[in-house]
Amino acid sequence: MSPPAAAPIPVLGVQTAPGLALTPQACAQLETEVLPVFLATRRWFPQDRDGLPVRVAALTPLPDTTPGVSLVLAELETPGAPEGERILLVLSASWETLPEAPLARLAFAGREGWLAEAADTTAFTQAMLAALRATWRAGQLRAVPEAGLASLALPDPLAVQPIRGEQSNSSVVVGKAAVLKLIRRVAPGVSPETEMTRHLTRAGFTHAPALLGALQQDLTPGPRTLAVLHAYVPNHGDAWGWTLAQGEAALRAARQSGQPPDWTPLQRMTARIGQRLGEMHAVLARPSEDARFAPEPASARHLSSRATQVQDTLARALAALAPRLADMPAREREAAQWLVARRSWLDAHIQALCQAELGQTRIRVHGDFHLGQVLLSPDDATLIDFEGEPANPLSVRRARHSPYKDVAGLLRSLDYAAAMLSRQAADLAALATFHAATAPAFLDAYHHAHPDAGCQDAGRRAALLDLGLLEKAAYEIVYECAHRPDWINIPVNGLARLVQAAEGRQ
């Protein structure tokens, strides 16, 4: 039997050529025939909206920089989206060259062109660079360059390499000098990543990618970021992949030699991450004329809302586990049921832990700090991706927090790494020394770089860290239940250990 014939590619009529001024009929075709098919194949598009029609809310022409190619920024509205959310595409009309993956044919007065999505193309990158250098404006859209853009050196011809595997955005490396990211799902409000990297760049912190510019949309109550250009950071990968590779190598060498694993490379790496995180927090703890970044002490009023916030996160975690108990392995099911039974004790414990924050400095933080948010070079670490925890609202991601939120995030990430290594470790006793080697190295370096992170009272400092760890593990349960059910056991076991240890200290 022969395979089914491919569906004919749609033909869209345009009102001018070159250009992408679609006729009303062509716009309707784009919304109902072309875009739903394309979006269903994109990992960054919400799966619950696959196959649904979309509405083109705006088509804004971008600067013409590539002969024979016209670009527009398309803002889409989709059924079921949160209020104000837009999906972003870059559509290209090519009248001279067939693009790699055309979405439709274009027709005008006997002339033929091609429609494609162009976010990872050289044409879009050139258009964005031109827009930033010219401080381009079009309606509510505005290109906002930063000082470092003027000295950006790029090769000629321009080399553009897409970064594959992302789920929420689309990025390209530009000439090993910059990274251009298009935000695919744009929500109302200021981007934490843009304002954080802008603040850190202007403050002279050199261990996060320098912000070179952004494309923003000026709206009320504040601008939102559509695309962002950062300096490229030479690296050999992120700390998550490196940790797993080094851990596997250490365990393998230990099996062959009969000696305990040598965690020295991991100790050095975690210490360097702790140093850079501490240095960043020290910058963020400085007085600032920018009210969004001015540190403030935690008040008694804050403690009340803080306790409620953590308790609510825990409640969401336990509620998310309830429908999954029957399918969980016996060990994790027992741990989850034990946590549910300890709910009243946990609420009181959270109240007590929150008292440690009274008077402590609250600052802007990374917000979703884990090993995957660190790029490694042979002797250093660079902190990346400042959008915050994706399951939290923008108000939480842009709020001030205890710096131990980030500290706890990295420690929980080490727990995830240990759990992944345990799936391959023949000798779990050998792996048991992993935490003892890496966590203290990270914490010692962090506190050396930022001694003002917490008070000098060891008990109070421990309470700050315990609160951060408990909150992070509860958040992880919520996230894994929604996105990675196969990983639920890691935060469930982690939270259970935290609670057991806390009970044991009382």
pLDDT in tens, 419-466: 999 876 656 677 788 999 999 999 999 999 999 886 667 888 999 999
pLDDT on residue 7 = 59
User: What is the pTM (predicted TM-score) of this model?
Assistant: 0.89
Q: Which has the minimum average pLDDT: 65-69, 171-175, 241-245, 352-356?
A: 65-69
Q: Evaluate the omega torsion of the peptide bond into residue 67 and state whether it is cis, within 30 degrees of 0.
A: no
Q: Which candidate, 373, 56, 350, places its Cα nearest to that of 242?
A: 373
How many alpha carbons lie under 13 Å from residue 74 in its C-beta half-sphere?
25
The mean pLDDT of 244-255, rounded to a whole number, is 92
pLDDT of residue 416 exceeding 70, the answer is: yes
CA distance 479 to 471: 12
CA distance 363 to 294: 7
pLDDT on residue 307 = 95
CA distance 411 to 401: 17
CATH 3.90.1200.10 domain extents, the chain:
239-505
Per-residue model confidence as pLDDT tens digits over 75-89: 999 988 888 889 999
Per-residue model confidence as pLDDT tens digits over 172-208: 999 999 999 999 988 888 889 999 999 999 999 999 9
Q: Do residues 36 and 52 make contact, with C-beta atoms less than 8 angstroms apart? A: yes
- To which CATH superfamily is domain 239-505 assigned? Aminoglycoside phosphotransferase (APH), C-terminal lobe (3.90.1200.10)
The mean pLDDT of 116-131, rounded to a whole number, is 96
